[in-house]
Amino acid sequence: MNEYSATINKDSATTSQFIGELTQAYLDDAEGTDTLLKAYPELKQAVLDNVDAYQKQQEAIQSNIDFANYICQCFKKRRI
């Protein structure tokens, strides 16, 4: 049973890694990515889900950067 679980975990990790790499190729607009995703709709949905999550993460990061910059400006104004 442990061998079976290990195989499933390995396959799952490999699939997850493949989806991650395919997502990066999609974001980079790599040649052939669209063709592959058209041929495999289940992959396309997984990639689009990753792209959506990535974009939300980038927005959150930018929001944190903007807030940190605002705080820095506030402290600079108080020192002068």
pLDDT of residue 11: 59
| Domain limits, the chain | 2-79
62 vs 49, 50, 74, 76, CA distance in Å?
20, 18, 18, 21
Between 7-11, 50-54, 60-64, 73-77, the lowest mean confidence (pLDDT) is in 7-11
CA distance 12 to 69: 40
The chain-wide mean pLDDT, for the chain, equals 84
pLDDT of residue 8: 42
